[in-house]
Amino acid sequence: MTKKKWKQHICMALAMILLFSCACPVFATNAYQKKKSELSGAENKKDSLEDKISRLQDMKEELESSRRDLSSYVTELDSELNTMQVQISELQTLVEEKEEEIARTRQELIQAKKDSRKQYEQMKKRIRFMYERSASTYMELILHANSISDMLNKATYIEKLSSYDRDMLDKYEETKKTIVKLQNVLEEEKVGLEATVAETKANESTMQKIVTSKQEELEAYDADIANKEAAIKQYEEDLADQEALIRSLEAAVKAAEEAAAKAAAAAAAAAAGGVSGNAVVYNGGTFAWPAPSYTRISDDYGWRTHPILGVKQFHNGVDMAAPSGSPILAAADGEVIAASYSATMGNYIMINHGSGLITVYMHASSLLVSNGAKVSKGQTIALVGSTGRSTGSHLHFTVRLNGEYVSPWNYLK
């Protein structure tokens, strides 16, 4: 090699070193800014969750206050209903007593009618006898009298007997009138009692319907309060997850700052003849399918009704139903920035792929990598499970770009 060519090679090498040393700080600075942007987005979401929790707490307190008022009203209605039921019981007892009294009176009336008929028959016989023998009887009494006094006594007897018959006839007529009046009174009392019982029962039925309706309202309040409590619990768990994410991103920002400092030092060293390192950068391309053993997409990215809470929510990822224990693969090259557990996500892993791109793998039965690990596309990082808030064995796969959730289908086959 000639001396001239040797100099040309040296110049080219120096130019490459200078170009590389200048690029490293730029890459490190860009990574730092992206992490800061992601951290800002995560903190904004945390503020939003805290605001939602506060509003839900206010709504829950209003519901509980309304429920207490309604519960007091239902208690009053129950008391009135109990009083009404006691009144109905007392009225029923009174009706039964009246029915017994009516039954006794009917028997007395039957007997009175029998006595009246008997008396009437006896009176008819006497009247007939007196009518048939009236003239001769009077003459016989007078002729056979022993004295004037005896004759007067017998005449008085006949007069008294006639008076007795007239009195008995009047008594019979009065008895008939009394019977009719008593029958009318008893029937009126019975009708009045039956009307009172019917009215009270109608009031009881109306009151019971009101109580039932208010109890249904109470149940609706209870269900609404339970939904609010469940939503609050979920938001609190989401808030805990968000705080965990913020901690991870803060660590990533710190790491990016250190990387920027190292890159600057490396650039300086390169300028002095040193060597530079490599940073994680996503260069595009399709992700590896993260759950190769999946059987179906059990829930897609977008709006849906939550399978546990029963409320409409935005689903921020794709659920891939897969057998428990089947492998979960890294979607692309990157660095693990979180490998932990939360009540919502269960066992989860977050991988930073650079360029503001992060993938999250949730509900794993076990984790096979730890925080800070470098992973390759298609590497097994965890096993499918159903930990955290989950209704069955599956992988919940999400993608975040610059701190925001985006559709995983933008990167999957």
Which tens digit of pLDDT belongs to each residue from 154-192?
556 666 766 776 777 677 667 767 777 777 787 787 788
Q: Which residues pair with 399 in a beta bridge?
A: 359, 406
Provide the pLDDT for residue 306: 64
First to last CA, the chain: 51
> Which pair of tokens denotes residue 353?
């792929």
Cα 262 from Cα 6, distance rounded (Å): 32
Q: Are 198 and 100 in contact (CB under 8 A)?
A: no
Residue 23 is predicted with a pLDDT of: 47
Q: Do 341 and 325 touch, CB atoms closer than 8 A?
A: no
Indicate if the pLDDT at residue 76 is higher than 90: no
Please give the residue that has the higher pLDDT: either 306 or 186.
Answer: 186
Segments of the chain assigned to CATH 1.10.287:
1-277
* pLDDT above 70 coverage of the chain, percent: 69
Contact 267, 24 (CB under 8 A): yes
CATH 2.70.70.10 location in the chain: 280-413
How would CATH label the architecture of 280-413?
Distorted Sandwich (2.70)
CATH no. for 1-277: 1.10.287
Please write down the HEC assignment for all residues of the chain: CCHHHHHHHHHHHHHHHHHHHHHHHHHHHHHHHHHHHHHHHHHHHHHHHHHHHHHHHHHHHHHHHHHHHHHHHHHHHHHHHHHHHHHHHHHHHHHHHHHHHHHHHHHHHHHHHHHHHHHHHHHHHHHHHHHHHHHHHHHHHHHCCCCHHHHHHHHHHHHHHHHHHHHHHHHHHHHHHHHHHHHHHHHHHHHHHHHHHHHHHHHHHHHHHHHHHHHHHHHHHHHHHHHHHHHHHHHHHHHHHHHHHHHHHHHHHHHHHHHHHHHHHHHHHHHCCCCCCCCCCCCCCCCCCCCCCCCEEEECCEEEECCCCCCEEEECCEEEECCCCCEEECCCCEEEEEEEEECCCEEEEEEEEECCEEEEEEEECEECCCCCCEECCCCEEEECECCCCCCCCEEEEEEEECCEEECHHHCCC
Q: Which residue bears the tokens 């130019």?
A: 15
Give the integer Cα–Cα distance in Å for 127 and 134: 10
For 114, counting Cβ atoms within 10 Å of its Cβ (0-12 exposed, 13-18 middle, 19+ buried), the class is exposed
Q: Is the pLDDT of residue 333 over 70?
A: yes
Amino acid at 214: K
Q: Output phi, psi for 406, to 5 deg.
A: -130, 165
For residue 133, is pLDDT > 70?
no
Q: How confident is the model at residue 246 (pLDDT cuts 50, 70, 90)?
A: confident
pTM of the predicted model as reported, rounded to 2 decimal places: 0.45
Rg (alpha carbons) of the chain, rounded to whole number: 53
Average pLDDT across the chain, whole number: 76
**How many Å apart are CA 348 and CA 230, to the nearest integer?**
22
